[in-house]
Structure 1
Amino acid sequence: MNPLPDPSDSRAVLLGVSWYSHLENLPGVANNLPALAEAVCGPFGWGLNDQHCTVVAEPASLDQMLEPVSTAAKDARDTLLVYYAGHGLLNQQQELHLGLPNSRAGRGRTAVPYSWLREAISEGKAKRHVIILDCCFSGRALGAMSGPATLADQAWIDGSFLMAAAPETGIALAPPGEQYTAFTGELLAAMKDGVPGTNSWLALDDLYLHLRSVLASKGRPLPQRRARNRAGELVWGRNASYQPSFTRSARPLEGTADWPNPDRFLDVAEFIHALALVRAISGLTQRELSARSSTPLSEGSISRLLNRADLPHRWTTTETYLTACGLHQAHIVRWRAAWERLKAAPSRHQVTKSPTPSPSFASAKPHRSRLRAMVRRAQFRSKNVQ
């Protein structure tokens, strides 16, 4: 799974109701929407095009709330984010409803059933769904409530990541005098200031644990979350507080004979073997490469790349890896040409496991010896430099 959403194939819909005719107003919600849109579209978020992030403020009807979600769901192929802030209401059957400006406490028919929002989300073909619900059940909204089901239980969608701002409590989400609602305010702060002690990229699970800790320290409602199919590994954005634990950089070997020459790769085995040589020549560990990568690349992904038995199916991971190792773009272009050349030869994609070398392996032996010699020379020079 690629943990970073593709901005061109991902969509976001941000819904919010701050003013009510019959319920307590939530002025912080009006501030949540533009701030969150800017964060999601910014360089520390998903980097979405403004046209791919739809903000729906004060939807007055069911159609005004659901139609933008339905449209975004049909357009998204990678990841769909749906956010709602406002009053959460329950009907007589204790089913979750999302408040509209004219909603009334205890009257589910005046609000939007969450099940209908879930249906609109499910209409599309996005591989992943991220649902964030910043709503609670205040005493003024609906009074006492009972029943074993929690907010997350009612809002669950298979294959998605759901984060709910609060359990079934009567605590208000919008403390008087604060710019944002309590939950979204901490969410925005985490995107702006980062989360100490985590990686260079902030995964949804990391974000959830941070928000739960911060909100608990302030005595505020604790968020809940549900995730399936590794959705918690999905990247929410760059971690602004990340500080690399090393100062070394990849050795600037571009233009020398030290890097393996991709023009000479005879088969997939040489391609994979040369990827490992690049890391060895760079002098960087897998952990350091992961931290240097311009897009998320975990140590596990690097290990799988270097130990696979076939050609990488997608070029993006290989390109990120080579860039982190220190190769310049001109050299990476030659690597891609080699990848495309080998990809066009299906019969030679699989690494041979037989103890008897094939003709291509036999002819490659002198070249592999040269590659190993290159590594030894590079390591010797590296030791002398140190």
Structure 2
Amino acid sequence: MSVLPDPGASRAVLVGTGCYEHLEQLPAVSNNLRALQGLLCGPLSLQLPARHVTVVEDPVAAHTVVGAVRQAAAEATDTLIVYFAGHGLVDAQDQLSLALPHTEFGRVETGLPYDWLRQVLLLDSRAERHVVILDCCYSGLALGRMSARSPFADQAAVEGSFLLAAAAETRTALAPVGQTYTAFTGVLLDTLRRGIPGGPALLDLAAVYRHVRLTLEARGHPVPQARDRNSGAQVALGRNHAVFPAAPVPAVPGGDTGERPWPDPRQIRTVLGFFTALADVRVVSGLTHQAVSERSAGRLSAGTVSRLLNRSTVPSRWSTTSAYLSACGVPDAQITQWQAVWQQLRAQTPAARAANPGAAGGASEGKRARPGRLPVFRRKRGH
């Protein structure tokens, strides 16, 4: 089942190099970074807090990029997104290298070996899911060295992840002169902004990949590659705005009997995720604040609905949240799941921990321990 990541427990690192000393300039890369940053933080996508999206533009050294990814990998417990746009090179051993401003052809020490980032994801990440998006431009020489036994997407794959890679054949096809964005990222942005007509309610990576591939192929551009490990393709990057929001829920209270794509409370880990998903419930319902109030049989005013959705702390009482969910048409079974999440988050508040130190197990928001995960990664070090 497709899932939207909890924005409070997710992170994104966006890396791009457009200014080069020895390689062709890629001015569109800067636009890629700004647009993708705005999209990930905005209502059309994951609604990540600005502080959870790190932009590294024209890094002067490899350790700058690795350090940013390592920090995000240590902080994220839900989903970690790593994006790179720029030139991609392949060395004599068919290993992928990401070009930095000072990178030179034939001098491997001047680039950033992708395997360095891969090792951070394998060994240092606490995230349950990884999304790796590589918008790399290749020269003809680099493509000539790509062997059939070591395809690009296989090199870059990470266990428990989804890799979306623009393995372009020429620079011109990937970054057309005069275009605002590179070809691959431009289609990706357009897909997330406009949605996919006739597509699923949640734009998971499987659907996004198919649409981006078909679009680029129809335009005569090189087609991207993708690799899915451990259901990474089910991670959604937003809702499908081509078919959403749908019609409002039935006027009769008591829950929606249809197949609406309600936010899954079981995916909520943080207070931020709780309120983001709570606001998304109203969007899915198709109701205004006033309509929610009218459907609550007098239990909620429109102002109460607004104040609930703009809180930053978990309500001390469940009744208002319950009335809101019911008025929106959320099924009773899911309301029960929401209440369980509310209770868990309440138990994590400082006051609750002080009253009952052992109740929350000492876990802080967005940093739950997951016993056994690191040994699993270490056993796969050689993959």
Task: Say if 1:182 and 1:252 are closer, same or farther in 2 by CA, change over 3 A.
Answer: same
Look up the SS of the partner of 2:56 in the other structure.
strand
Unaligned stretches of 5+ in structure 2? Answer: 267-273, 287-291, 301-318, 324-334, 345-383
Matched, 1:195 2:184: no
Residue equivalent to 1:119: 119
Look up the SS of the partner of 2:137 in the other structure.
coil
| Residue deviations 1:259-299 (CA, integer Å, cap 9, x gap) | xxxxxxxxxxxxxxxxxxx45xx5x43x2x33xx3x369xx
Task: Say whether the 8 Å CA contact 2:23–2:103 is kept in structure 1.
Answer: yes
| Residue deviations 1:229-282 (CA, integer Å, cap 9, x gap) | 22111111122211567x4632243xxxxxxxxxxxxxxxxxxxxxxxx45xx5
CA distance in 2, matches of 1:103, 1:241: 41
Percent identity over paired residues:
39
Task: Say if 1:21 and 1:10 are closer, same or farther in 2 by CA, change over 3 A.
Answer: same
Task: Say if 1:243 and 1:147 are closer, same or farther in 2 by CA, change over 3 A.
Answer: same
Task: Say whether the 8 Å CA contact 1:89–1:108 is kept in structure 2.
Answer: no
Matched, 1:212 2:193: no
Matched, 1:30 2:26: no
CA distance in 2, matches of 1:60, 1:337: 48
Give the greater-gyration-radius structure (CA). 1
CA distance in 2, matches of 1:337, 1:209: 33
Task: Say whether the 8 Å CA contact 1:13–1:54 is kept in structure 2.
Answer: yes
CA distance in 1, matches of 2:131, 2:192: 16
Task: Say whether the 8 Å CA contact 2:2–2:204 is kept in structure 1.
Answer: no
Residue equivalent to 1:98: 98
CA distance in 2, matches of 1:44, 1:337: 26
Residue equivalent to 1:272: none
Task: Say whether the 8 Å CA contact 2:249–2:285 is kept in structure 1.
Answer: no
Larger relative contact order, structure 1 or 2 (CA cutoff 8 Å, min sep 6): 2
CA distance in 1, matches of 2:38, 2:181: 14
| Residue deviations 1:89-118 (CA, integer Å, cap 9, x gap) | 111111000001111123222101110011
Residue equivalent to 2:60: 60
Task: Say whether the 8 Å CA contact 1:92–1:108 is kept in structure 2.
Answer: no
Residue equivalent to 1:180: 181
Task: Say whether the 8 Å CA contact 1:134–1:164 is kept in structure 2.
Answer: yes
Q: How does 1:150-165 map to 2 (within 5 A)?
A: 150-165=151-166
Matched, 1:41 2:41: yes
Q: How does 1:357-368 map to 2 (within 5 A)?
A: none
CA distance in 1, matches of 2:56, 2:225: 24
Residue equivalent to 2:79: 79
Look up the SS of the partner of 1:135 in the other structure.
strand
CA distance in 2, matches of 1:208, 1:101: 29
Cα deviation, residue 339, structure 1: 5.8
Residue equivalent to 1:361: none
Look up the SS of the partner of 1:33 in the other structure.
helix
Residue equivalent to 2:235: 234
Task: Say whether the 8 Å CA contact 1:86–1:99 is kept in structure 2.
Answer: yes
Cα deviation, residue 331, structure 1: 7.0
CA distance in 2, matches of 1:338, 1:142: 52
Cα deviation, residue 137, structure 1: 1.3
CA distance in 1, matches of 2:7, 2:36: 16
Paired residue total: 290
Task: Say whether the 8 Å CA contact 1:158–1:228 is kept in structure 2.
Answer: yes
Counterpart amino acid of residue 130 in structure 2:
H
Look up the SS of the partner of 1:88 in the other structure.
strand
Q: How does 1:244-255 map to 2 (within 5 A)?
A: 247=247, 249-253=249-253
CA distance in 2, matches of 1:47, 1:198: 21
CA distance in 1, matches of 2:73, 2:39: 21
Task: Say if 1:221 and 1:6 are closer, same or farther in 2 by CA, change over 3 A.
Answer: same
Unaligned stretches of 5+ in structure 1? Answer: 254-277, 302-314, 345-386
Task: Say whether the 8 Å CA contact 2:92–2:145 is kept in structure 1.
Answer: no
Counterpart amino acid of residue 58 in structure 1:
D
Counterpart amino acid of residue 62 in structure 2:
L
RMSD, aligned CA: 3.1
Counterpart amino acid of residue 152 in structure 1:
A
- Which residue, 311, 315, 322 being the options, matches 1:333? 322
Residue equivalent to 2:9: 9
Task: Say if 1:235 and 1:206 are closer, same or farther in 2 by CA, change over 3 A.
Answer: same
